[in-house]
Structure formats: structure tokens, C-alpha cells
Amino acid sequence: MSDNKVLHYFRKICAIPHGSGNEAALGGYITSFAEKRGLSARRDEAGNVLVRKPGRGAEPVIVQSHIDMVCEKNSDKKHDFLRDPIEVIEENGFLRANDTTLGADNGIGAAYALALLDGAYAHPPLEAVFTTNEEVGMEGAAAFDASVLTGRRLLNLDEGTEGVLIASCAGGARADMTLPVETEPAEAGRRAALIEVKGLLGGHSGIMIREQRANANALLGRLLAELTRSYDLRLYELSGGMKDNAIPREARAVITVREADFSAVGAAAAAFEAEARREYRAVDSGISVIYGETIINEETPRVLTRESLKRTLAAINLTPNGPLFYSADIKGLSLVETSSNLGVIEFSGDTVVLRSALRSSVAPRKRGLITKFESLAEAVGAKIDLRGDYPEWEYREKSPLRELAAKIFTEAYGREPVVSAVHAGLEPGVFISKIPGLDAVAFGPNIYGEHTPGERAEISSVLRVWEYLLALLKNM
């Protein structure tokens, strides 16, 4: 198996469950790691860890990463993210997991920081910050007391494309729409059917939203709405997606239909599959709509009333989803400026909950998007809960740190880096809002399929970026 110090620590991280909200064990490991090496370490109430390491010169540099990961798995995979380690597989020059997310986002960044803290390298004094709950709204960074930091230069290690220096990112928020619904006993003599939308690529709802991939929740909502126009469909079960910041790959519904309509509904579902495949043929060609009889194991099953079904489907189909605006500020880049991702649908008893991740690099547009959600919730009789609001990272025209990072990159790679912005949220925006004058840049190795079970990290890229990080720090 390939190994160096970074890969060693990444495997250590993967061995400790660390999904968002469950980072305590990993935070404890990092704190113990630092103390065993005689380094100053402090852990705050939010679980963030700050480790200081002496170095050359007087001006420290902040090296920052987050220690939570998105926990996604294939539906048939048995894995408990609260207890089970990530099974890391090395294959064809990549690291991947076994039917789960790998957590290279941002476990590789945290592994870089641990490797720096464990070695004798030329660098300025280091302030290594490991934050929690980044994936659910940057809650750890928001709670972190930045006044304890003395550095005014920040290296964020949470970029997933080698050769790109990130200088700006979107701000965002989470919107949970809770719709009260009513149920009634299912009519006798009807047949139950399972409808599943599967086979989608999914992906990180910030990074991959630009690809305009299909959203399983949105597709299922559309299919159900179309079916209700022609058939007396009643809804018994509805669910889709696992995380609001991951484009959902699968969604399912259990419905009841009249015996005479059962086959016709199946034919309509098959026709919808063909249409969806044609619609998304260039970006998400594996869409599958599965329809078949199922059994409801409940003595007195209850289904949504017709009025509640109408409002539920209206809420799903009117929820903003996908890229909404593209940036006109950064020339030559097809950069999404504003987007929304309907990541999760949950139906339990008397409520249907729609969970969305909202992003924008323009504050007024983010506010306008939030207003749309508030108006939609009011129109369908739902409650809206906004959380995890975090600021955008505005582009800085003059950045000595970015200029130095570009210079060292050119010397190391023999070509200039791409200076870009990213539609995903990155924590420098939070730290910049707390530390006036903070200069920041983000970079990292090639990571593909973040927030999906197809996530993989290119080993050679991880090692090249490690050498680049050492060269950059040596010149700071």
C-alpha cells in the first residue's frame, strides 16, 4: 500500500468516525496527538481544536481544515457512520471507500496539518485550526474565537482540484421547510406500488451544481405531480436524499392506486424514465425509474389526504433547485453565482420536511433567495427554519499571500496556477469576517465525487500538493 506521512494520518482519521456532529473522538485524537509531541493544544466548546507549533520568524501562519465529513452510502450498504470506520481501498492510483463517502473532503487537509505538526520542516510558527461541523453550515468556524489567533495569513486546505488557487467563495444557508399534513385510512381494494428514482450521479451541491445534474427529489416530485393529473394516486411513504448539501441520488415513494390503473401508472413511470434520460443525457444518463408492486405491512395504513398531497407536491415542485444565476464578474469562468439544492425529503406522521442548501457569492441575491423560500412556505402553509448562515469570501484585488502562492506554484510545477472562485462555501469567509485584514488562499489535491460513495482521492496528487505546501511554507 502507498504510504507517506500524509497518507498515514489520513488512514488514522478514516479509522475514527467523524461525520458532522460526531467529531468528538477525532478532536480528542488530535488534542492527544499534539500533547504527546509537546505542542500547545486547546479545544473549545464547539469541538474546534487549535494546535500551535514553533517555527522560524515571528509572524505565524494559520493552517486550517475541517474535521467533519459528509456521511453518504449506497442504499444497500450496511454501515453505521457513528461507530464504523471508513474502509479505505487503494485502487489504480486512487484512494476510495467501500460503498461510502471517503471523507477526503476534508480529511486530506487535516492529514496535511497533522503531518506538518509531526515533522521537522522549515516553516513559520504554525497555528493549525481544525474546525467542526463545516459541512452543515460552518458552525465550528462560526463559534471559534478568532481573537486567540495572531496570524494574519491563512492557508485553507479544503480545495479539491490541484493547480487551482481559490480566492473567493459563496456564502450560504440551510432552509428547512416543515409542512404540516393530514392523513386518513387507505381505501380498501387498492394496490400498493413502490416508485424509486435511482442511478443518479449526485455530488457536492456546491461544486457539482454547475454540471446541472439531475436531482432525485425533484424528479420524483415531478413524476408524482404528473401522475396525479391522470390517476387517483394516494401517498403512503416519501423519502429522498441523505444530506442537504449533497445532490440526492435516490428518492422513493410508496403509493396506492386503483386496481384498474396499476399497469397504466407503471407505463407512465417508464415513459417518464425515458424522458428524464433524454433530458439529462449529457450530464446524468444513468437515471432509472423503478416501479413495482409492494406490500404495506400495517394493519390500518394511512395515506395523505388529497389536499395534503396537493400541497406537498406543490412545495416540492416550487422549491428552487439547481443553478439560478451565473457570475458575470469573473471572466472566462462558467461560475455559478447563486444556487439551491433540495437535498432531503422526509415524511413522518404529520409532517413533510424539505431540506435545502442555499448558496450565493452575492449577499443581496442570497437574501432574495431566502425571501423566495419564506414566500413559498407561507403560500403552502409551511414553517421555514433558516440555519447555518455563513458569509461569502469576497475576492481581494491585492493579496500578497495569493501572489506568493502563485509564484511558488509556478516554480514547483513549471506552469501558472488557475486563480479562481468556488461556488461551494469555504471557511476563509468566516475567518475573514472575524479578523480584519486577514489574507487567505485555499488549495488542495485532486478529489473526485465529493459527498458521494464514488468519492476518491488521487494519491500522486496528494503527494505533489504536500511537496508544494512544504515549499510554500518554507518561503513564508
- Check whether residue 120 and residue 161 sit in a common domain: yes
For strands 153-156 and 61-66, give the pairing. Answer: parallel
- Check whether residue 57 and residue 145 sit in a common domain: yes
- Check whether residue 214 and residue 131 sit in a common domain: no
- Check whether residue 196 and residue 264 sit in a common domain: yes
- Check whether residue 281 and residue 222 sit in a common domain: yes
Q: Which of 258-262, 393-397, 430-434 has the lowest mean pLDDT?
A: 393-397
Compare 179 and 349 and report the one with higher pLDDT: 179
Distance CA 166, CA 161 (A): 10
Which of the following is catalytic: 23, 68, 159, 427?
68
- Check whether residue 433 and residue 288 sit in a common domain: no
- The amino acid sitting at 466 is W
Active site residue 134: yes
Which of 333, 356, 390 is the last residue in one of the domains?
Answer: 390
Active site residue 159: no
DSSP assigned state of 417: P
Residue 448, pLDDT > 90, answer yes
- Check whether residue 81 and residue 161 sit in a common domain: yes
DSSP sequence for 58-123 = S--EEEEEE--B---B-TT----TTTPPP-EEEETTEEEESSB---HHHHHHHHHHHHHHHS----
- The amino acid sitting at 74 is N
Mean pLDDT of the chain: 95
Distance CA 99, CA 452 (A): 9
The answer to whether residues 68 and 19 touch, using CB atoms and an 8 Å cutoff, is yes
Segments forming the whole domain that contains residue 110: 5-170+392-474
- Check whether residue 213 and residue 349 sit in a common domain: yes
CATH number at residue 398: 3.40.630.10
DSSP assigned state of 56: S
- Check whether residue 371 and residue 401 sit in a common domain: no
Residue 353, pLDDT > 60, answer yes
- Check whether residue 162 and residue 177 sit in a common domain: no
For strands 439-442 and 171-180, give the pairing. Answer: unpaired
Count up the domains in the chain and report the number: 2
- Check whether residue 198 and residue 114 sit in a common domain: no
pTM as predicted: 0.76
Which of 358, 390, 422 is the last residue in one of the domains?
Answer: 390
Which of the following is catalytic: 134, 135, 196, 337?
134
CATH number at residue 308: 3.30.70.360
The predicted model gives 76-102 an average pLDDT of 96
- Check whether residue 104 and residue 182 sit in a common domain: no
The predicted model gives 91-120 an average pLDDT of 97
Which of 330, 360, 390 is the last residue in one of the domains?
Answer: 390
Give the pLDDT band of residue 326 (cuts 50, 70, 90): confident
Residue 327, pLDDT > 80, answer no
Compare 330 and 403 and report the one with higher pLDDT: 403
